[in-house]
């Protein structure tokens, strides 16, 4: 059986940076060490850090922890949360992905200029919640899909600054931007989708279009992995969303001549290698 592994599969720059920050802090820790929520969306990585003494801070109970070092997750947090952690006596170590941090600065600047901020993404995702927390005032909306874009309506006199969750589908982002533009607004578009995300999606679609089956590896709560699965599913009917090599058997692929493998930005290399080896057997 031919096994095709996506070159872009696995940790992106921002995730690798966050993992490196935690590893460094573990080596240097002399007082309690926390991550604000899961450092990345991968249960295996989070469990491994917990076994080494890192506590995942409950976002709803931050008042209850002994002062220590809090590592801000790769998805980022609101400005208010960052300030509260410092006020509680914590040393804050910021592992926010630089591309997400760039959006924080952008929405803060454009909202201060009295522009309406429109975020395209999942309103329940921690990255989007963090972005909202850097907006000055209440002039903003989050739209996740075409239906929300069609329903969107504000004063035509407002300048609208559009940004995106970094892991949003690039083609869908362009479609929603066009819907907003057609309403007659003066629009400023900041394409904040991560280049690595776009590259990963394009490569996954290309591989899925020429194989008999496609395996997409990643955590079930990973937004970028979910997008990869959706993209691959449109190109290959036999697309499977798995978290580890234990989620499928070799008999599942017994009649398959070619299989493609891709993985979300929070999937460790060792898990990808295990899946690849299992397929090759």
- The verdict on 226 and 266 lying in the same domain is yes
- The verdict on 103 and 144 lying in the same domain is yes
- Strands (DSSP E) contained in 121-212 are 140-143, 159-164, 186-189
**Which CATH number goes with the domain that contains 130?**
3.40.1010.20
pLDDT at residue 280 greater than cutoff 90: no
In this prediction, residue 29 carries a pLDDT of: 85
Extract the tokens encoding 54.
């890192």
Q: How many domains does the chain have?
A: 3
Q: pLDDT over 90 for what percent of the chain?
A: 84
Contact 242, 275 (CB under 8 A): yes
pLDDT at residue 54 greater than cutoff 80: yes
Extract the tokens encoding 91.
């040393």
Query: What single-letter DSSP state applies at residue 91?
Result: E
d(CA 125, CA 116): 21
Active site residues: 127
Q: Tell me how far CA of residue 8 lies from CA of 121, 178, 218, 226, 270, in angstroms.
A: 22, 29, 14, 16, 15
Domain boundary at 81, 96, 111, which?
96
pLDDT at residue 39 greater than cutoff 80: yes
Enumerate the β-bridge partners of residue 102: none
In this prediction, residue 164 carries a pLDDT of: 96
pLDDT at residue 172 greater than cutoff 80: yes
In this prediction, residue 254 carries a pLDDT of: 78
Q: Tell me how far CA of residue 145 lies from CA of 102, 121, 125, in angstroms.
A: 23, 8, 14
Domain boundary at 38, 72, 96, which?
96
- The verdict on 112 and 183 lying in the same domain is yes
- The verdict on 92 and 158 lying in the same domain is no
Domain boundary at 147, 177, 193, which?
193
In this predicted model, what pLDDT tens digit does every residue of 67-104 receive, in sequence order?
Answer: 999 999 999 999 999 999 999 999 999 999 999 999 99
In which band, very low, low, confident or very high, does the pLDDT at 250 lie, cut at 50, 70 and 90? confident
In this prediction, residue 244 carries a pLDDT of: 92
In this prediction, residue 30 carries a pLDDT of: 86
Helix (H, G, I), strand (E, B) or coil at 261: strand
Question: How far is the first Cα of the chain from the last one, in angstroms, to the nearest whole number?
Answer: 9
The mean pLDDT value for 127-155 works out to 96
- Min mean pLDDT across 9-18, 63-72, 205-214, 247-256 is at 247-256
The mean pLDDT value for 138-164 works out to 96
In which band, very low, low, confident or very high, does the pLDDT at 170 lie, cut at 50, 70 and 90? confident
- The verdict on 76 and 106 lying in the same domain is no
- The model's pTM: 0.84
| pLDDT, mean over the chain | 94
- The verdict on 140 and 103 lying in the same domain is yes
d(CA 66, CA 68): 6
- The verdict on 238 and 187 lying in the same domain is no
- The verdict on 110 and 188 lying in the same domain is yes
- The verdict on 220 and 174 lying in the same domain is no
- The verdict on 19 and 105 lying in the same domain is no
**Which CATH number goes with the domain that contains 67?**
3.40.50.11270
- The verdict on 54 and 106 lying in the same domain is no
> What domain range is 28 assigned to?
13-96
- The verdict on 265 and 212 lying in the same domain is yes
């Amino acid at each position: 059986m031919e096994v095709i592994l996506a070159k872009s599969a696995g940790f992106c720059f921002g995730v690798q940076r966050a993992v490196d920050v935690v590893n460094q802090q573990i080596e240097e820790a002399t007082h309690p060490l926390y991550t604000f929520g899961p450092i990345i969306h991968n249960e295996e990585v989070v469990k491994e850090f917990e076994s080494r003494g890192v506590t995942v801070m409950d976002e709803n109970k931050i008042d209850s922890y002994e002062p220590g070092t809090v590592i801000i997750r790769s998805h980022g947090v609101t400005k208010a949360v960052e300030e509260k952690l410092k006020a509680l006596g914590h040393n804050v170590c910021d592992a926010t992905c630089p591309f997400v941090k760039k959006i924080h600065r952008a929405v803060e600047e454009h909202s201060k200029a009295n522009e309406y901020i429109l975020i395209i993404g999942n309103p329940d995702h921690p990255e989007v919640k963090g972005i909202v927390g850097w907006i000055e005032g209440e002039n903003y909306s989050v739209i996740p899909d075409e239906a929300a874009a069609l329903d969107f309506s504000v004063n035509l006199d407002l300048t609208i600054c559009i940004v995106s969750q970094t892991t949003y589908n690039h083609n869908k982002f362009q479609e929603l931007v066009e819907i907003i533009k057609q309403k007659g607004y003066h629009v400023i578009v900041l394409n904040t989708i991560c280049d690595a995300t776009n590259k990963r999606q394009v490569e996954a679609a290309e591989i899925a279009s020429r194989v008999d089956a496609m395996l997409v590896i990643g955590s079930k709560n990973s937004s970028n992995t979910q997008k990869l699965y959706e993209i691959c599913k449109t190109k290959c009917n036999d697309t499977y969303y798995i978290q580890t090599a234990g989620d499928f058997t070799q008999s599942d692929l017994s009649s398959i001549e070619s299989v493609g493998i891709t993985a979300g930005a929070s999937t460790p290399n060792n898990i990808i290698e295990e899946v690849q080896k299992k397929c090759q057997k």
